[in-house]
A and B are shown apart, each in its own frame.
Chain A
Amino acid sequence: MNLPSTEEIIDDLDFLDDWEQRYQYIIDLGKQLPGLPDTLKLEQNKVRGCQSSVWMVSEENAGRLTFKVDSDAIIVQGLLALVLAAYDNKTRAEIQSFDIDGYFAKLDLERHISPTRGNGLRAMVAKIQGLAA
């Protein structure tokens, strides 16, 4: 699937002013994300999250990192799509320079990426940043 760009996501979510529409947008984005086949939902691909599971695999092609992710919770899946919009098919330099906290703040979703939320999102961002370092 072609994820919208971060700019498009910021615009889209900005346009939707009630929370239900905004979460519906995230849920729909999550549903569109292709996810991972069960053969790749392995322990070694798991990112720590206590309320839901998150899996991620990555590849590098011609200097660009690509990611495939999945979660058993659909809203987490949607939030993962927001993260992938920022990081997927980007160079290391682009990943390192992207302000993920600022992005989530602009989306007014910063509560979901806070380290105190056990949803695995923060752990996945840290893993991606680690791969790009």
Chain B
Amino acid sequence: MTETVTDFDVGAVRAQFPILQRELDGNPLIYLDNAATTQKPQAVIDALVDYYTQCNSNVHRGAHQLSDEATKRFENARKTVANFINAAAVEEVIWTSGTTEGINIIAKGMAQRLKAGDEVLVTQMEHHANLVTWQQACKASGAQLKVVPIDEQGNLSIEAFDQLLSDRTRLLAMPHVSNALGTVNPIVSLTAKAKAKGALVLIDGAQGVAHGDVDVQAIGADFYVFSGHKLFGPTGIGVLWGRKAVLEDWPIWLTGGEMIATVTYEDATWGALPNRLEAGTPNIAGAIGMAAAIDWFQALDINAVKAHEQALLEHALELAKDIPGMRIVGNADNKIGILSFVIEGIHPADIGFLLDRQGIAIRTGDHCAQPLMQRLGVPGTARASFTIYNTLQDVDALFKGLKKAAMMLA
């Protein structure tokens, strides 16, 4: 097979990612660790360089032209994000360092609301960032952590969800898409159920945001958090989207800088959204880079992108049948291009080693989801994750590499 099965021009997309030209040990780089972080198109690299070469300055200080320009670019970036996720208002977009920080900002606020007898609902497929945070918040407050189980295929049990959701549920915190299994969760219907019980809803969008068209108003949750670097943008920047009515009186979490309105030696008052939740000098370049990534991503046909990723996954699943002892971990009915697997008798780290030597980058280990691995009865998995610039040949190379690895380890 030489061409993709969709009319999506993967060659034109690839050409925009300079790093994909790299060779490792004489082999062309086959980058299949996109669930960990995506590579950056030239447009993003250019936006960062342009910011630092043309208008680097602190924002919101306004005393000179550069600061004014930097502030405009920074605030335009916020508008880009707001449009991208269909936020009802620009000030609902809070810059963070990434998904984990977003979750922690919400946890700090929830800590003041949770009390003994309350419940927080999470799922068995949680990334540590959206599990440990709530586990600790519950420990500190005496609230109870309830965990919605998954079935053998990696589907969330809706039956169990319905049983565990109660009038005591104060928060539902769950992933849009599982980083370890690729499962796409029915967040719209589950959010509606939790809202009907009066719970707040937080969606961890780290893996969801780069694989579809996120519309926070259509989802109906209170918070949706994600990172720039999994969306073809820079590391160290992310977004906490929150419903304005909820964020407006959300407890502040860091003090200092632009979040302050007035200060005396005795007291201080806080500014309005979004600044009240953004203390200190923000990651200005990161925000501008993230907006450039979104602009770049939005210029693509999202349906073609989805079809392309599904074609890669289907091709991989077909080739997987030829590898003796290979078991796919995570076969949810609705899943994105994440292929988590184990091969009988072979440790995932050994697979990772031998693929790495062939220039093929995948992730091996517990994927920051140790309880999930225990649930699935595996020490860890090898995970190949596909995105828009991957080709069917990349998938072929993965399986050729796997065959070689299995032969050497036999």
Chain A residues packing against B (C-beta within 8 Å): 19-20, 23-24, 27, 50-53, 72-76, 118-119
B347 with A73: CB separation less than 8 A: yes
Choose, from B62-70, B225-233, B350-358, B390-398, the stretch at the interface. Answer: B350-358
Given known A-B contacts A51-B352, A75-B354, A20 and B408 have beta carbons under 8 A apart: yes
> Which of A51, A74, A118 touches B409 (beta carbons < 8 Å)?
A74
Flag if B380 contacts A27 (CB, 8 Å). Answer: no
- In the complex, which residues of chain B have a beta carbon less than 8 angstroms from the beta carbon of A23? 353-354, 357, 408
Q: Which residue of B lies closest to A52 (CB)?
A: B349
Q: Can you report 24 residue pairs joining A to B where beta carbons are below 8 Å apart? A: A19-B25, A19-B357, A23-B354, A23-B408, A27-B408, A50-B365, A50-B366, A51-B348, A51-B349, A51-B352, A52-B349, A53-B379, A72-B379, A73-B349, A73-B350, A73-B353, A74-B347, A74-B350, A74-B409, A75-B349, A75-B353, A76-B350, A118-B365, A119-B349
Q: Is B207 an interface residue (CB 8 A)?
A: no
CB A31 to nearest CB in B, in angstroms, measures: 10
B97: Cβ under 8 A from any A Cβ:
no
Please report the C-alpha to C-alpha distance between residue A20 and residue B357 in the assembled complex, in whole angstroms. 9
- B328-372 interface (Cβ within 8 A of A): 347-350, 352-354, 357, 364-366
Interface contact A75-B350, CB-CB below 8 Å: yes
- CB contact between B365 and one of A20, A27, A51, A74 (< 8 Å): that residue: A51
The answer to whether A24 touches B408 (Cβ under 8 A) is yes
> What is the chain A residue whose CB lies nearest that of B353?
A75
Q: What 7 A-B pairs come out closest when comparing CB atoms?
A: A73-B349, A73-B347, A52-B349, A51-B349, A51-B365, A75-B353, A75-B350
Q: What are the interface flags for B248-260 relative to A under an 8 Å C-beta threshold, 1 for contact and 0 otherwise?
A: 0000000000000
B89 to chain A minimum Cβ distance, whole angstroms, is: 41
Alpha-carbon distance between A73 and B343 when the two chains are bound, in angstroms: 13
Question: Could you say which residues of chain A place their CB within 8 Å of the CB of B347?
Answer: 52, 72-74
CA A24 – CA B404 in complex, angstroms?
11
Closest Cβ of chain A to B406, distance in Å, is: 12
A51 to chain B: which residues have CB within 8 Å? 348-349, 352, 364-365, 380
Interface size on B, residues (CB 8 A): 17
Give A125 to B387 CA distance when docked, in angstroms: 38
By a CB distance below 8 angstroms, the chain B residues around A20 are 404, 408
Which residues between 46 and 78 of chain B lie within 8 Å of chain A, taking CB atoms? none
Least distance between A19 CB and chain B CB atoms (Å): 6
CA–CA, A31 and B354, complex, Å: 16
Residues of A within 8 Å of B379, CB to CB, are 53, 72
Q: With the chains together, A24 CA to B408 CA distance in Å?
A: 6
**CB-CB nearest in chain A for B357:** A19
Contacts of A24 in B (CB 8 A): 408
How far is A19 from B348 in the complex, measured between Cα atoms in Å? 20
Closest to A120 in B: B349
Minimum CB–CB distance for B8 against chain A, Å? 34
Give bound CA distance, A33 to B211, whole Å: 45
Residue of B nearest to A22 (CB): B357
| Most central of B25, B365, B404, B408 by chain A CB within 10 Å | B408
**Extra inter-chain contacts (4) besides given A27-B408, A51-B349, A52-B349, CB under 8 Å:** A20-B404, A51-B365, A73-B350, A118-B365
CA–CA, A59 and B379, complex, Å: 29
Q: How far is the CB of B360 from chain A (nearest CB, A)?
A: 13
Chain B residues whose CB sits within 8 angstroms of the CB of A119 once the complex forms: 349
Distance in angstroms from B362 CB to nearest chain A CB is 12
What chain A residues lie within 8 Å of B364 (beta carbons)? 51
Q: Which residue of B lies closest to A72 (CB)?
A: B347
Min CB distance, B181 to chain A, in Å? 19
Name the residue in A23, A50, A52 with the highest tally of chain B Cβ atoms < 10 Å from its Cβ.
Answer: A52
Min Cβ gap A80→B in Å is: 13
Within the assembled complex, what's the spacing in Å between the Cα atoms of A53 and B357? 21
- Enumerate chain A residues within 8 angstroms of B349, measured Cβ to Cβ: 51-52, 72-73, 75-76, 119
Residues of B with C-beta under 8 A to A72: 347, 349, 379
The interface centre, meaning the residue of A19, A51, A74, A119 with most chain B CB atoms within 10 A of its CB, is A51
Residues of A within 8 A of B348 (CB): 51
**In the complex, A119→B289 CA distance in Å?**
33
| A27 and B409 in contact, given A19-B357, A72-B347 (Cβ under 8 angstroms) | yes
Complex CA gap A84/B6 in Å reads 53
Determine how close the nearest CB of chain B comes to the CB of A119; give it in whole angstroms. 7
**Which of the listed residues B348, B349, B380 has the most CB atoms from chain A within 10 Å of its own CB?**
B349
Task: Tell me which residues across on chain B come within 8 A of A50, comparing CB atoms.
Answer: 365-366
* A residues less than 8 Å from B25 (CB atoms): 19
